[in-house]
Amino acid sequence: MAISDLLDPIPYVNSTYNFEINMPKDWIGYDGTVYGGVVFYVNPAIPSANQKENDSSIAIVAESSQGLSLKEYVSASKASLPLQLKDYVPTSETPVVLPDGISGVILSGTFTEGINNVHIAQLLTVKNGEAFIVSGKSLTTNWEQYNDIVGLAMLTFTLN
């Protein structure tokens, strides 16, 4: 299956934070400020009683890096994830280079949300004093199905 079959060819563009990303085709976008972020996309293919919290999703948050380098920001994030996410267990850390040449790191792990076991992957990058977190998550039972598409979307993240 080609990437063009999985991702929307028209990127989501945010002119406030100067980034763009190609989200998975047919996923539904919401104003992320309601959830403490910039934008929030959910997979409409998985029905549930509370889709925004439990099913496959991608959220983008922008915040001050507080003067931290990418390496320092990643280190701080790794320390804070177990405090923010119940039963958080890290599973991998992968350095990446985004299409615009900016470096990032993808942290992956699992945690408990309510009664659900959830897998999360977070792309972290820093530019001009801003930190960007692109988080993809899914129930662990669905992660194998959505890991590739979430990863592909993350790797289209571009800072302008």
pLDDT tens, 25-79? 988 888 767 666 788 788 877 555 444 444 788 999 999 999 999 999 999 999 9
pLDDT higher than threshold 90 for residue 2: no
Does the pLDDT at position 107 exceed 70? yes
Of the two residues 7 and 34, the one the predictor is more confident about is: 7
Which residue in the block uniquely carries the two structure tokens 């998550």? 137
Closest C-alpha among 62, 136, 125 to residue 98: 125
Supply the pLDDT for residue 134.
96
Supply the pTM of this predicted model.
0.90
Percent of the chain whose predicted confidence (pLDDT) is above 90:
66
Sign for the CA dihedral angle at 148, 84, 51, 135 comes to: negative
List domains and CATH numbers for the chain.
3-159 (3.40.1000.10)
* Closest to 78 measured CA to CA, from 69, 88, 68: 88
